[in-house]
Structure 1
Amino acid sequence: MSPWIVSDELWDRLEPLLPQRERRFRYPRRKALPDREVLCGILYVLHTGIQWEYLPQELGFGSGMTCWRRLRDWNEAGVWQRLHEVLLAELNAASRLDWSRCVVDSSHVRAFKRGSHTGPSPVDRGRAGSKHHLITDGHGTPLAVLLTGGNRNDVTQLLPLLDAIPPVRGRVGRPRRKPDSLFADRGYDHDIYRDQVRERGIVPAIARRGTRHGTYRWVIERSFAWLHGFRRLRIRWERRADIHEAFLKLACCLITHRQLDSLC
Protein backbone atom coordinates (compact mmCIF):
# COMPACT_ATOMS: atom_id res chain seq x y z
CA MET A 1 0.00 0.00 0.00
CA SER A 2 1.28 3.48 -0.82
CA PRO A 3 2.53 5.35 2.26
CA TRP A 4 0.15 8.26 1.63
CA ILE A 5 -2.93 6.01 1.80
CA VAL A 6 -4.51 6.37 5.25
CA SER A 7 -4.99 3.00 6.91
CA ASP A 8 -8.21 2.14 8.71
CA GLU A 9 -6.32 1.81 12.01
CA LEU A 10 -4.88 5.33 11.77
CA TRP A 11 -8.15 6.84 10.56
CA ASP A 12 -10.13 5.31 13.42
CA ARG A 13 -7.83 7.09 15.88
CA LEU A 14 -7.75 10.39 13.99
CA GLU A 15 -11.35 10.91 12.86
CA PRO A 16 -12.80 11.61 16.36
CA LEU A 17 -10.17 14.33 16.85
CA LEU A 18 -11.00 16.33 13.72
CA PRO A 19 -13.03 19.53 14.25
CA GLN A 20 -16.44 19.81 12.68
CA ARG A 21 -16.46 22.05 9.64
CA GLU A 22 -18.86 24.99 9.61
CA ARG A 23 -21.69 25.09 7.12
CA ARG A 24 -20.80 26.66 3.76
CA PHE A 25 -23.03 29.66 2.95
CA ARG A 26 -21.32 30.87 -0.22
CA TYR A 27 -21.64 27.58 -2.13
CA PRO A 28 -24.15 25.52 -0.10
CA ARG A 29 -24.64 22.89 -2.81
CA ARG A 30 -20.93 22.22 -3.30
CA LYS A 31 -19.83 19.31 -1.17
CA ALA A 32 -16.59 19.67 0.72
CA LEU A 33 -13.91 17.12 -0.04
CA PRO A 34 -13.92 14.31 2.56
CA ASP A 35 -11.32 14.71 5.28
CA ARG A 36 -9.79 11.30 4.63
CA GLU A 37 -9.04 12.13 0.99
CA VAL A 38 -7.57 15.48 1.99
CA LEU A 39 -5.35 13.75 4.54
CA CYS A 40 -4.08 11.46 1.78
CA GLY A 41 -3.11 14.56 -0.19
CA ILE A 42 -1.26 16.02 2.83
CA LEU A 43 0.60 12.74 3.30
CA TYR A 44 1.48 12.69 -0.40
CA VAL A 45 3.16 16.09 -0.04
CA LEU A 46 4.88 15.02 3.19
CA HIS A 47 6.27 11.81 1.68
CA THR A 48 7.24 13.08 -1.77
CA GLY A 49 8.15 16.71 -1.03
CA ILE A 50 6.13 17.88 -4.05
CA GLN A 51 4.92 21.49 -4.16
CA TRP A 52 1.29 22.08 -3.25
CA GLU A 53 0.34 23.42 -6.69
CA TYR A 54 1.62 20.24 -8.37
CA LEU A 55 -0.44 17.86 -6.24
CA PRO A 56 -1.99 15.40 -8.74
CA GLN A 57 -5.76 15.91 -8.51
CA GLU A 58 -6.40 12.82 -10.62
CA LEU A 59 -5.52 10.77 -7.52
CA GLY A 60 -8.54 12.22 -5.73
CA PHE A 61 -6.67 14.45 -3.27
CA GLY A 62 -8.34 17.68 -4.31
CA SER A 63 -6.43 20.91 -4.90
CA GLY A 64 -3.20 21.71 -3.13
CA MET A 65 -4.77 24.80 -1.57
CA THR A 66 -7.57 22.71 -0.07
CA CYS A 67 -5.03 20.37 1.53
CA TRP A 68 -2.95 23.33 2.73
CA ARG A 69 -5.96 24.94 4.42
CA ARG A 70 -6.99 21.73 6.18
CA LEU A 71 -3.42 21.16 7.39
CA ARG A 72 -3.38 24.70 8.78
CA ASP A 73 -6.80 24.41 10.42
CA TRP A 74 -6.13 21.00 11.94
CA ASN A 75 -2.82 22.19 13.33
CA GLU A 76 -4.48 25.25 14.87
CA ALA A 77 -7.08 22.95 16.44
CA GLY A 78 -4.31 20.85 18.04
CA VAL A 79 -5.25 17.70 16.13
CA TRP A 80 -1.68 16.44 15.64
CA GLN A 81 -0.76 17.02 19.27
CA ARG A 82 -3.81 15.11 20.51
CA LEU A 83 -3.25 12.29 18.03
CA HIS A 84 0.34 11.97 19.23
CA GLU A 85 -0.86 11.75 22.83
CA VAL A 86 -3.36 9.03 21.91
CA LEU A 87 -0.66 6.97 20.18
CA LEU A 88 1.81 7.45 23.04
CA ALA A 89 -0.84 6.32 25.53
CA GLU A 90 -1.38 3.10 23.55
CA LEU A 91 2.36 2.44 23.47
CA ASN A 92 2.60 3.16 27.18
CA ALA A 93 -0.25 0.76 27.93
CA ALA A 94 1.65 -1.93 26.03
CA SER A 95 4.84 -1.16 28.01
CA ARG A 96 6.60 -0.12 24.80
CA LEU A 97 7.86 3.26 26.03
CA ASP A 98 11.28 3.25 27.69
CA TRP A 99 11.03 5.82 30.49
CA SER A 100 14.38 4.80 31.97
CA ARG A 101 16.05 7.34 29.69
CA CYS A 102 15.34 9.92 27.02
CA VAL A 103 17.66 11.32 24.35
CA VAL A 104 17.78 14.87 22.91
CA ASP A 105 19.47 16.35 19.87
CA SER A 106 18.85 18.72 16.96
CA SER A 107 19.23 18.71 13.18
CA HIS A 108 19.72 21.67 10.84
CA VAL A 109 17.74 22.02 7.59
CA ARG A 110 17.95 24.63 4.85
CA ALA A 111 15.15 27.21 4.59
CA PHE A 112 15.16 28.57 1.03
CA LYS A 113 12.18 30.91 1.55
CA ARG A 114 13.35 32.11 4.97
CA GLY A 115 10.38 33.26 7.07
CA SER A 116 9.88 33.04 10.83
CA HIS A 117 11.93 30.61 12.92
CA THR A 118 14.87 30.80 10.53
CA GLY A 119 18.40 32.07 11.07
CA PRO A 120 21.94 31.97 9.67
CA SER A 121 23.41 28.52 9.27
CA PRO A 122 26.19 27.73 11.76
CA VAL A 123 28.28 26.44 8.84
CA ASP A 124 27.44 29.04 6.18
CA ARG A 125 26.22 32.36 7.59
CA GLY A 126 24.88 33.39 4.21
CA ARG A 127 22.30 30.61 4.12
CA ALA A 128 19.17 30.67 6.22
CA GLY A 129 18.01 27.55 8.00
CA SER A 130 15.92 26.08 10.79
CA LYS A 131 16.56 23.51 13.48
CA HIS A 132 14.47 20.49 14.41
CA HIS A 133 14.88 19.84 18.14
CA LEU A 134 13.78 16.33 19.10
CA ILE A 135 13.42 14.35 22.32
CA THR A 136 12.74 10.60 22.24
CA ASP A 137 12.37 7.78 24.71
CA GLY A 138 15.03 5.09 25.02
CA HIS A 139 13.66 3.26 21.96
CA GLY A 140 13.70 6.33 19.73
CA THR A 141 9.95 7.04 19.82
CA PRO A 142 9.39 10.83 19.46
CA LEU A 143 8.04 12.44 22.62
CA ALA A 144 8.19 16.08 21.48
CA VAL A 145 9.62 18.19 18.67
CA LEU A 146 10.34 21.93 18.43
CA LEU A 147 11.24 24.28 15.57
CA THR A 148 13.68 27.19 15.96
CA GLY A 149 15.98 29.30 13.85
CA GLY A 150 19.16 27.71 12.58
CA ASN A 151 21.32 29.94 14.77
CA ARG A 152 19.66 28.92 18.04
CA ASN A 153 21.98 27.15 20.48
CA ASP A 154 20.93 23.57 21.18
CA VAL A 155 21.17 23.87 24.96
CA THR A 156 18.58 26.68 25.07
CA GLN A 157 15.93 24.18 23.93
CA LEU A 158 16.77 21.49 26.48
CA LEU A 159 14.25 22.58 29.12
CA PRO A 160 11.56 23.57 26.57
CA LEU A 161 11.82 20.05 25.13
CA LEU A 162 11.33 18.52 28.57
CA ASP A 163 8.34 20.82 29.13
CA ALA A 164 6.89 19.84 25.75
CA ILE A 165 6.60 16.15 26.70
CA PRO A 166 2.83 15.63 27.06
CA PRO A 167 1.24 13.81 30.00
CA VAL A 168 1.22 10.22 28.72
CA ARG A 169 -1.64 8.06 29.96
CA GLY A 170 -2.25 4.36 29.45
CA ARG A 171 -1.08 3.01 32.80
CA VAL A 172 -2.59 2.94 36.29
CA GLY A 173 -1.84 6.11 38.23
CA ARG A 174 -0.97 9.62 37.19
CA PRO A 175 0.01 10.32 33.57
CA ARG A 176 3.76 10.27 33.12
CA ARG A 177 5.77 13.02 31.44
CA LYS A 178 9.22 12.70 33.03
CA PRO A 179 11.96 10.14 32.20
CA ASP A 180 14.42 8.82 34.77
CA SER A 181 17.53 10.07 32.96
CA LEU A 182 18.45 12.32 30.05
CA PHE A 183 21.22 11.65 27.51
CA ALA A 184 22.70 14.42 25.36
CA ASP A 185 25.90 15.15 23.47
CA ARG A 186 28.55 17.81 24.13
CA GLY A 187 26.40 20.55 22.63
CA TYR A 188 24.36 20.50 25.85
CA ASP A 189 27.40 20.62 28.15
CA HIS A 190 26.55 23.31 30.72
CA ASP A 191 26.46 22.84 34.50
CA ILE A 192 23.58 25.30 34.98
CA TYR A 193 21.34 23.16 32.77
CA ARG A 194 22.54 19.99 34.49
CA ASP A 195 21.42 21.45 37.81
CA GLN A 196 18.04 22.44 36.36
CA VAL A 197 17.54 18.94 34.98
CA ARG A 198 18.37 17.46 38.41
CA GLU A 199 15.85 19.82 40.04
CA ARG A 200 13.19 18.14 37.92
CA GLY A 201 14.12 14.75 39.34
CA ILE A 202 15.92 13.63 36.17
CA VAL A 203 19.49 12.32 36.15
CA PRO A 204 21.52 14.20 33.50
CA ALA A 205 23.91 12.09 31.40
CA ILE A 206 25.35 14.87 29.27
CA ALA A 207 28.74 14.37 27.63
CA ARG A 208 31.41 16.90 28.57
CA ARG A 209 33.61 18.71 26.09
CA GLY A 210 36.70 16.76 25.19
CA THR A 211 35.01 13.40 25.80
CA ARG A 212 33.04 10.99 23.62
CA HIS A 213 29.43 11.86 22.81
CA GLY A 214 27.90 8.90 24.65
CA THR A 215 26.52 5.43 24.18
CA TYR A 216 22.93 6.19 23.19
CA ARG A 217 23.55 8.80 20.48
CA TRP A 218 22.61 6.25 17.78
CA VAL A 219 19.03 6.22 19.08
CA ILE A 220 18.38 9.87 18.29
CA GLU A 221 20.30 9.65 15.01
CA ARG A 222 18.03 6.82 13.90
CA SER A 223 14.98 8.87 14.90
CA PHE A 224 16.19 11.80 12.78
CA ALA A 225 16.70 9.37 9.90
CA TRP A 226 13.07 8.32 10.30
CA LEU A 227 11.95 11.96 10.53
CA HIS A 228 13.89 13.11 7.48
CA GLY A 229 12.77 10.06 5.55
CA PHE A 230 9.79 12.32 4.84
CA ARG A 231 11.14 14.38 1.96
CA ARG A 232 9.17 17.49 2.86
CA LEU A 233 11.19 17.78 6.07
CA ARG A 234 14.67 17.55 4.50
CA ILE A 235 14.40 21.16 3.32
CA ARG A 236 12.06 23.76 4.74
CA TRP A 237 10.01 25.13 1.85
CA GLU A 238 7.32 26.81 3.98
CA ARG A 239 7.65 30.48 4.77
CA ARG A 240 5.15 30.08 7.61
CA ALA A 241 6.59 28.31 10.63
CA ASP A 242 3.24 26.85 11.72
CA ILE A 243 2.89 24.89 8.45
CA HIS A 244 6.36 23.38 8.80
CA GLU A 245 5.63 22.58 12.46
CA ALA A 246 2.43 20.86 11.37
CA PHE A 247 4.43 18.62 9.04
CA LEU A 248 6.90 17.91 11.87
CA LYS A 249 4.16 16.91 14.33
CA LEU A 250 2.35 14.82 11.73
CA ALA A 251 5.60 12.98 10.93
CA CYS A 252 6.12 12.25 14.65
CA CYS A 253 2.59 10.81 14.76
CA LEU A 254 3.32 8.55 11.80
CA ILE A 255 6.58 7.31 13.35
CA THR A 256 4.78 6.59 16.61
CA HIS A 257 2.01 4.79 14.74
CA ARG A 258 4.61 2.56 13.08
CA GLN A 259 5.77 1.54 16.53
CA LEU A 260 2.20 0.45 17.28
CA ASP A 261 2.02 -1.49 14.02
CA SER A 262 5.11 -3.45 15.08
CA LEU A 263 3.10 -4.81 18.04
CA CYS A 264 0.69 -6.60 15.73
Structure 2
Amino acid sequence: MDGKHRWQAIPVRLSLAQFEEFVLPHLIRGRRGPPPQLSLHRIFNYVLQVLYMGCQWKALPIDKDCLGRPEIHHTRIYRAMRRWQAAGCMDAIFAGSVGKLHKDQLLDLTVIHGDGTTTAAKKGGDNLGYSGHKHLKGDKVVAFCDRDCNVIAPFVAAAGNRNESPLLRDALPRLSQMARAIGMNLKGARVSLDGVYDCRANRKAIFNRGMVPNIPENPRGRKRAKRGRKQSFDPAIFEERFRTIERVFAWEDKFRRLLLRFERLGAVHYAFKTLAYTMINLRHYC
Protein backbone atom coordinates (compact mmCIF):
# COMPACT_ATOMS: atom_id res chain seq x y z
CA MET A 1 0.00 0.00 0.00
CA ASP A 2 1.53 3.33 -1.00
CA GLY A 3 1.71 6.44 1.18
CA LYS A 4 -1.14 8.15 -0.66
CA HIS A 5 -3.66 5.58 0.52
CA ARG A 6 -2.14 4.76 3.92
CA TRP A 7 -3.08 8.12 5.46
CA GLN A 8 -6.71 7.65 4.46
CA ALA A 9 -7.11 4.62 6.75
CA ILE A 10 -9.17 5.82 9.71
CA PRO A 11 -8.02 4.06 12.92
CA VAL A 12 -10.58 2.26 15.05
CA ARG A 13 -8.12 0.99 17.69
CA LEU A 14 -5.05 2.50 19.29
CA SER A 15 -1.88 0.74 20.32
CA LEU A 16 -0.47 1.30 23.79
CA ALA A 17 2.15 3.73 22.50
CA GLN A 18 -0.43 5.70 20.53
CA PHE A 19 -2.79 5.77 23.50
CA GLU A 20 -0.09 7.08 25.82
CA GLU A 21 0.89 9.79 23.34
CA PHE A 22 -2.47 11.11 22.14
CA VAL A 23 -5.09 10.14 24.75
CA LEU A 24 -3.67 9.41 28.19
CA PRO A 25 -2.42 12.97 28.95
CA HIS A 26 -6.00 14.25 28.59
CA LEU A 27 -7.83 11.62 30.68
CA ILE A 28 -8.77 12.10 34.31
CA ARG A 29 -7.92 9.43 36.85
CA GLY A 30 -9.65 8.57 40.08
CA ARG A 31 -8.10 9.92 43.27
CA ARG A 32 -9.75 7.51 45.68
CA GLY A 33 -10.31 3.81 45.83
CA PRO A 34 -8.23 0.94 44.46
CA PRO A 35 -6.70 1.24 40.99
CA PRO A 36 -8.73 -0.31 38.16
CA GLN A 37 -7.89 -3.91 37.38
CA LEU A 38 -8.20 -3.19 33.64
CA SER A 39 -5.94 -0.58 32.07
CA LEU A 40 -7.32 2.67 30.73
CA HIS A 41 -5.93 1.71 27.34
CA ARG A 42 -8.18 -1.34 27.09
CA ILE A 43 -11.22 0.57 28.42
CA PHE A 44 -10.69 3.32 25.84
CA ASN A 45 -10.39 0.76 23.05
CA TYR A 46 -13.69 -0.76 24.17
CA VAL A 47 -15.29 2.70 23.80
CA LEU A 48 -13.81 2.93 20.30
CA GLN A 49 -15.20 -0.52 19.55
CA VAL A 50 -18.71 0.60 20.52
CA LEU A 51 -18.29 3.67 18.32
CA TYR A 52 -17.13 1.61 15.35
CA MET A 53 -19.50 -1.36 15.64
CA GLY A 54 -22.58 0.64 16.61
CA CYS A 55 -23.80 -2.10 18.92
CA GLN A 56 -25.56 -1.72 22.25
CA TRP A 57 -23.40 -1.56 25.33
CA LYS A 58 -24.68 -4.91 26.60
CA ALA A 59 -23.87 -6.51 23.23
CA LEU A 60 -20.24 -5.34 23.24
CA PRO A 61 -17.91 -8.36 22.79
CA ILE A 62 -15.65 -8.40 25.85
CA ASP A 63 -12.58 -10.60 26.20
CA LYS A 64 -12.46 -13.36 28.82
CA ASP A 65 -10.05 -13.56 31.71
CA CYS A 66 -8.11 -16.63 32.86
CA LEU A 67 -11.23 -17.96 34.60
CA GLY A 68 -13.38 -17.69 31.49
CA ARG A 69 -15.37 -14.71 32.78
CA PRO A 70 -15.65 -11.27 31.07
CA GLU A 71 -12.70 -9.15 32.14
CA ILE A 72 -14.99 -6.14 32.71
CA HIS A 73 -18.71 -5.43 32.79
CA HIS A 74 -20.15 -3.22 30.07
CA THR A 75 -21.66 -0.82 32.62
CA ARG A 76 -18.17 0.03 33.91
CA ILE A 77 -17.07 0.92 30.39
CA TYR A 78 -20.13 3.14 29.99
CA ARG A 79 -19.50 4.85 33.33
CA ALA A 80 -15.88 5.50 32.39
CA MET A 81 -16.96 7.01 29.08
CA ARG A 82 -19.56 9.23 30.81
CA ARG A 83 -16.99 10.34 33.38
CA TRP A 84 -14.56 11.37 30.62
CA GLN A 85 -17.33 13.13 28.74
CA ALA A 86 -18.48 15.09 31.79
CA ALA A 87 -14.91 16.17 32.57
CA GLY A 88 -14.31 17.45 29.03
CA CYS A 89 -11.73 14.80 28.20
CA MET A 90 -13.14 14.13 24.72
CA ASP A 91 -12.81 17.80 23.79
CA ALA A 92 -9.27 17.87 25.19
CA ILE A 93 -8.28 14.81 23.15
CA PHE A 94 -9.67 16.43 20.01
CA ALA A 95 -7.85 19.70 20.72
CA GLY A 96 -4.65 17.73 21.29
CA SER A 97 -4.98 16.07 17.88
CA VAL A 98 -5.40 19.47 16.18
CA GLY A 99 -2.41 20.84 18.09
CA LYS A 100 -0.29 17.85 17.05
CA LEU A 101 -1.21 18.36 13.40
CA HIS A 102 -0.35 22.05 13.63
CA LYS A 103 2.98 21.32 15.33
CA ASP A 104 3.95 18.83 12.62
CA GLN A 105 2.86 21.28 9.87
CA LEU A 106 0.19 18.94 8.52
CA LEU A 107 -2.55 21.59 8.36
CA ASP A 108 -3.27 23.53 5.17
CA LEU A 109 -5.17 26.57 6.45
CA THR A 110 -5.13 28.61 3.25
CA VAL A 111 -8.73 27.42 2.73
CA ILE A 112 -11.18 26.38 5.45
CA HIS A 113 -14.24 24.40 4.36
CA GLY A 114 -17.40 24.32 6.44
CA ASP A 115 -20.76 22.63 6.14
CA GLY A 116 -23.55 21.06 8.15
CA THR A 117 -24.85 17.52 8.38
CA THR A 118 -28.06 16.11 9.87
CA THR A 119 -28.36 12.85 11.83
CA ALA A 120 -31.70 11.09 12.22
CA ALA A 121 -32.81 10.20 15.76
CA LYS A 122 -34.90 7.05 16.18
CA LYS A 123 -35.37 6.87 19.95
CA GLY A 124 -36.02 10.49 20.81
CA GLY A 125 -33.95 12.59 23.15
CA ASP A 126 -32.90 16.16 23.77
CA ASN A 127 -31.94 18.83 21.23
CA LEU A 128 -34.03 17.31 18.41
CA GLY A 129 -36.24 18.83 15.74
CA TYR A 130 -37.99 17.86 12.52
CA SER A 131 -36.19 18.91 9.35
CA GLY A 132 -38.66 19.59 6.55
CA HIS A 133 -35.84 19.58 3.99
CA LYS A 134 -34.45 16.18 5.03
CA HIS A 135 -37.87 14.80 6.05
CA LEU A 136 -36.54 13.38 9.31
CA LYS A 137 -36.34 14.16 12.99
CA GLY A 138 -32.86 14.60 14.37
CA ASP A 139 -30.06 17.03 15.05
CA LYS A 140 -27.44 18.78 12.94
CA VAL A 141 -23.88 19.94 13.36
CA VAL A 142 -21.70 22.51 11.59
CA ALA A 143 -17.99 21.63 11.33
CA PHE A 144 -14.84 23.06 9.75
CA CYS A 145 -11.92 21.28 8.09
CA ASP A 146 -8.77 22.30 6.21
CA ARG A 147 -7.79 21.38 2.65
CA ASP A 148 -6.45 17.99 3.79
CA CYS A 149 -9.70 16.82 5.45
CA ASN A 150 -8.52 17.53 9.01
CA VAL A 151 -11.26 18.70 11.38
CA ILE A 152 -9.82 21.82 12.98
CA ALA A 153 -12.54 23.17 15.28
CA PRO A 154 -15.16 21.83 17.69
CA PHE A 155 -18.49 21.55 15.94
CA VAL A 156 -21.63 23.39 16.95
CA ALA A 157 -24.78 21.31 17.38
CA ALA A 158 -28.45 22.26 17.13
CA ALA A 159 -31.87 20.73 16.59
CA GLY A 160 -32.73 19.47 13.13
CA ASN A 161 -35.31 22.19 12.51
CA ARG A 162 -32.78 25.00 12.98
CA ASN A 163 -31.53 26.95 9.98
CA GLU A 164 -27.83 26.38 9.33
CA SER A 165 -27.06 30.00 8.42
CA PRO A 166 -27.29 31.47 11.97
CA LEU A 167 -25.33 28.51 13.34
CA LEU A 168 -22.24 29.76 11.52
CA ARG A 169 -22.03 32.75 13.86
CA ASP A 170 -21.91 30.32 16.77
CA ALA A 171 -19.29 28.09 15.13
CA LEU A 172 -16.83 30.84 14.17
CA PRO A 173 -15.96 31.78 17.79
CA ARG A 174 -15.03 28.16 18.45
CA LEU A 175 -12.77 28.22 15.41
CA SER A 176 -11.07 31.38 16.68
CA GLN A 177 -10.76 29.92 20.17
CA MET A 178 -9.05 26.81 18.82
CA ALA A 179 -6.71 28.96 16.71
CA ARG A 180 -5.64 30.98 19.76
CA ALA A 181 -5.18 27.87 21.89
CA ILE A 182 -2.72 26.14 19.56
CA GLY A 183 -1.22 29.18 17.83
CA MET A 184 -2.86 28.85 14.40
CA ASN A 185 -2.84 31.92 12.17
CA LEU A 186 -6.09 32.25 10.25
CA LYS A 187 -5.48 35.73 8.86
CA GLY A 188 -6.23 35.80 5.15
CA ALA A 189 -7.69 32.27 5.02
CA ARG A 190 -10.56 31.69 2.61
CA VAL A 191 -13.69 30.29 4.27
CA SER A 192 -15.56 28.20 1.69
CA LEU A 193 -19.24 27.66 2.47
CA ASP A 194 -22.43 26.65 0.71
CA GLY A 195 -24.89 29.20 -0.66
CA VAL A 196 -27.21 28.64 2.31
CA TYR A 197 -24.76 30.68 4.42
CA ASP A 198 -24.91 33.68 2.09
CA CYS A 199 -26.04 36.65 4.17
CA ARG A 200 -24.57 39.92 5.28
CA ALA A 201 -24.22 38.88 8.93
CA ASN A 202 -22.18 35.78 8.06
CA ARG A 203 -19.87 37.63 5.69
CA LYS A 204 -19.33 40.34 8.28
CA ALA A 205 -18.55 37.77 10.99
CA ILE A 206 -15.92 36.17 8.74
CA PHE A 207 -14.38 39.53 7.77
CA ASN A 208 -14.17 40.62 11.42
CA ARG A 209 -11.91 37.63 12.13
CA GLY A 210 -9.49 38.53 9.35
CA MET A 211 -10.68 35.83 6.95
CA VAL A 212 -12.20 36.06 3.47
CA PRO A 213 -15.56 34.42 2.69
CA ASN A 214 -15.88 32.29 -0.43
CA ILE A 215 -19.65 31.87 -0.63
CA PRO A 216 -21.73 31.73 -3.85
CA GLU A 217 -24.42 34.38 -3.96
CA ASN A 218 -27.84 32.99 -3.17
CA PRO A 219 -30.53 34.84 -5.18
CA ARG A 220 -33.22 33.70 -2.76
CA GLY A 221 -31.57 35.71 0.00
CA ARG A 222 -32.41 39.04 -1.64
CA LYS A 223 -35.68 40.63 -2.68
CA ARG A 224 -33.94 42.60 -5.43
CA ALA A 225 -30.66 42.33 -7.29
CA LYS A 226 -27.59 43.57 -5.40
CA ARG A 227 -26.22 46.87 -6.66
CA GLY A 228 -22.52 47.44 -7.21
CA ARG A 229 -19.78 44.90 -7.81
CA LYS A 230 -20.31 41.21 -7.12
CA GLN A 231 -18.93 39.43 -4.09
CA SER A 232 -15.51 37.76 -4.38
CA PHE A 233 -16.02 34.09 -5.25
CA ASP A 234 -13.63 31.43 -6.59
CA PRO A 235 -15.49 28.46 -8.16
CA ALA A 236 -12.34 26.27 -8.05
CA ILE A 237 -12.11 26.59 -4.26
CA PHE A 238 -15.82 25.93 -3.90
CA GLU A 239 -15.49 22.66 -5.85
CA GLU A 240 -12.95 21.42 -3.29
CA ARG A 241 -15.76 21.08 -0.76
CA PHE A 242 -16.76 17.74 -2.25
CA ARG A 243 -13.21 16.43 -1.75
CA THR A 244 -12.83 17.80 1.77
CA ILE A 245 -15.78 18.44 4.07
CA GLU A 246 -18.05 15.97 2.28
CA ARG A 247 -15.31 13.35 2.51
CA VAL A 248 -15.01 14.03 6.24
CA PHE A 249 -18.72 13.39 6.66
CA ALA A 250 -18.33 10.18 4.62
CA TRP A 251 -15.48 9.06 6.89
CA GLU A 252 -17.70 9.85 9.86
CA ASP A 253 -20.24 7.31 8.56
CA LYS A 254 -17.59 4.62 8.99
CA PHE A 255 -18.44 4.73 12.69
CA ARG A 256 -21.81 3.01 12.77
CA ARG A 257 -22.78 4.51 16.11
CA LEU A 258 -23.16 7.85 14.29
CA LEU A 259 -25.20 6.70 11.30
CA LEU A 260 -28.36 6.98 13.40
CA ARG A 261 -28.65 8.64 16.77
CA PHE A 262 -29.89 6.17 19.37
CA GLU A 263 -28.49 8.18 22.29
CA ARG A 264 -31.19 9.94 24.25
CA LEU A 265 -28.61 12.22 25.82
CA GLY A 266 -27.19 14.68 23.33
CA ALA A 267 -23.96 15.04 25.34
CA VAL A 268 -23.17 11.35 24.83
CA HIS A 269 -23.89 11.54 21.10
CA TYR A 270 -21.71 14.62 20.69
CA ALA A 271 -18.89 12.97 22.67
CA PHE A 272 -18.97 10.03 20.24
CA LYS A 273 -18.93 12.44 17.30
CA THR A 274 -15.97 14.35 18.76
CA LEU A 275 -14.14 11.07 19.23
CA ALA A 276 -14.82 10.13 15.59
CA TYR A 277 -13.38 13.45 14.39
CA THR A 278 -10.33 12.82 16.57
CA MET A 279 -9.77 9.45 14.90
CA ILE A 280 -10.02 11.15 11.51
CA ASN A 281 -7.26 13.54 12.54
CA LEU A 282 -5.10 10.74 13.92
CA ARG A 283 -5.04 8.87 10.62
CA HIS A 284 -1.67 10.52 9.93
CA TYR A 285 -0.12 8.78 12.95
CA CYS A 286 -2.07 5.56 13.54
TM-score under structure 1 length normalisation:
0.86
Q: Where does 1:1-264 land on structure 2 (aligned, <5 Å)? A: 4-13=12-21, 14-24=23-33, 31-58=36-63, 62-123=72-133, 127-144=136-153, 145-165=155-175, 166-167=178-179, 175-176=183-184, 178=186, 180-209=189-218, 214-218=238-242, 219-261=244-286
Shift of 1:135: 0.8
Mark the CA change 1:61 to 1:251 in structure 2 (over 3 Å): closer, same or farther. farther
Cα distance change on mapping 1:132 and 1:10 into 2, 3 Å: farther
Q: RMSD across aligned C-alpha pairs, in angstroms? A: 2.5
Larger radius of gyration: 2
**What is the deviation of 1:167?**
3.4
Residue 32 of structure 1: how far off its partner (Å) = 4.6
Amino acid at match of 1:81: D
State the TM-score, normalizing by the size of structure 2: 0.80
**Alpha-carbon shift at residue 3 of structure 1 (Å):** 5.3
User: 8 Å contact 2:126–2:266 — kept in the other structure?
Assistant: yes
4+ residue runs over 6 A deviation: none
Is the contact between residue 85 and residue 168 of structure 1 (CA under 8 Å) also seen in structure 2? no
Q: 2:115 is paired with a residue of what secondary structure?
A: strand
> What is the distance in 1 between the residues matched to 2:211 and 2:71?
45
Change in Cα spacing, 1:93 to 1:20, as seen in structure 2 (3 Å) is same
**Structure 1 pair 200/168, CA: closer, same or farther in 2 (3 Å)?**
closer
Residues 211-220 or 100-109, more deviating: 211-220
Helix, strand or coil for the counterpart of 2:116?
strand
| 1:171-228 superposed Cα distances (whole Å, 9 cap, x missing partner) | xxxx126361200011111122111211111100012226989322211100101112
Paired amino acid for 2:84: W
| 2:109–2:147 CA contact under 8 A, matched in 1 | yes
Deviation of the 1:118 alpha carbon: 0.9
- Percent identity of paired positions between Structure 1 and Structure 2: 27
Measured in 1, the distance between the counterparts of 2:215 and 2:55 equals 39
CA contact 1:118–1:128 (8 Å) conserved in 2: yes
Q: How many residues align?
A: 251
Counterparts of 1:31 and 1:83 in 2: how far apart (Å)? Answer: 21
Deviates more, 1:78-87 or 1:181-190: 78-87
C-alpha distance in 2, partners of 1:37/1:160? Answer: 36
Contact conserved, 1:135 with 1:143, CA < 8 A, in 2? yes
Which stretches in structure 1 are left out of the alignment for 5+ residues? none
Of 49-58 and 116-125, more deviation after overlay is shown by 116-125
Task: Give the CA deviation at 1:231.
Answer: 0.6
- In 1, Cα distance between equivalents of 2:73 and 2:15: 22
Q: Structure 1 residues 32, 22: CA separation in 2 closer, same or farther (over 3 Å shift)?
A: farther
Contact 2:127 2:159 in 1 (8 A): yes
Q: Distance in 2 between matches of 1:228 and 1:205?
A: 27
Q: d(CA) in 2 for partners of 1:42 and 1:61?
A: 15
